[in-house]
Amino acid sequence: MAGHSKWANIKHKKGAEDAKRGKIFTKLVKEIIVAARLGGGDPDANPRLRTVLEKAKQNNLPKDNIDRAIKKGTGELEGVNYEETVYEGYGPGGAAVYVESLSDNKNRTVADVRHLFSKHGGNLGENGCVSWMFDKKGWIPVNKNDAEEDVLMEAALEAGAEDIRDEDGVFEVITPPDAFEDVKAALAAAQIPFGDEAEVTMLPQTTVSLGGTDAEKMLKLMNALDDNDDVQRVHTNADIPEEVIAAAG
């Protein structure tokens, strides 16, 4: 799980820079459109929409943008039809990479993703080649200084959490996807703060430790994929050393 925690922190810090460039707005708008199309425009009845609206609020996406995106999703306004696609492959050192995308042109997206894998020492594989190495789970990080373990366990487990893990100064609360919102609400009610990085994600069952140039190339691959406008989320089982992350800024 350490690998996921590190990548989540990298994404969180990187997100601040992406927000300045408006890049993260594009991804949020796409996600809102698709969530509203699949589950309707009422966040109270649509957990996926509710989750992305929280993220939109954290990133200061303007309300007008949110309202237009919801209306495009529900068909009240004309909009682009985005398709959800998953790409799977291997990065440097054989680490697994699982890429989620929303695209209006799958041919363009697969060509771009394949190019990025090749450019950074990896290779795009067949569907299913790495998905079995991940589990879809809710992931909520809580700083150990912000909560007593027994209080956290009581609030989280009663709300439906599966597990609480101790990783590098952080309690990681693991939930089934459909209990994610309930557990977050329970932590908030118990006045237990948690990180903005909390998300429903693909958690690796095991991690692959990388070092040297493999670690550096892997970090560049992950960042390059994350920078692609059609890519929504990138997951890996790579565990990259802290010194490599620090050197990359």
pLDDT at 5 exceeding the cut of 80? no
Q: Is the dihedral of CA 158, 57, 83, 124 positive or negative?
A: negative
Q: State the pLDDT at residue 23.
A: 78
Q: Answer whether 153's CB lies under 8 Å from 187's CB.
A: no
More confident residue, 201 or 2: 201
List, for residues 115-173, the tens digit of each pLDDT value.
Answer: 999 999 999 999 999 999 999 999 999 988 888 889 999 999 999 999 998 887 789 99
Residue 249's pLDDT band (boundaries 50, 70, 90)?
low
pTM above 0.75, yes or no: yes
Residue 8's pLDDT band (boundaries 50, 70, 90)?
low
List, for residues 208-233, the tens digit of each pLDDT value.
Answer: 999 889 999 999 999 899 989 999 99
**How long, in residues, is the chain?**
249
Q: Is the dihedral of CA 159, 161, 166, 169 positive or negative?
A: negative
Q: State the pLDDT at residue 157.
A: 94
Say what percent of the chain tops pLDDT 70.
91
Distant-in-sequence, close-in-space partners of 108: CB < 8 Å, separation ≥ 6: 230
Say what percent of the chain tops pLDDT 90.
65
Residue 197's pLDDT band (boundaries 50, 70, 90)?
confident
Q: Tell me the pLDDT of the chain averaged across its residues.
A: 88
More confident residue, 241 or 236: 236
Q: State the pLDDT at residue 14.
A: 58
List, for residues 24-63, the tens digit of each pLDDT value.
Answer: 888 999 999 999 999 999 998 998 999 899 889 888 889 9
User: What is the Cβ-side half-sphere exposure of residue 201, based on CA atoms within 13 angstroms?
Assistant: 24
Q: Which domains does the chain have, with CATH numbers?
A: 2-74 (1.10.10.200), 83-132+205-247 (3.30.70.980), 133-204 (3.30.70.980)
Distant-in-sequence, close-in-space partners of 163: CB < 8 Å, separation ≥ 6: 173, 174
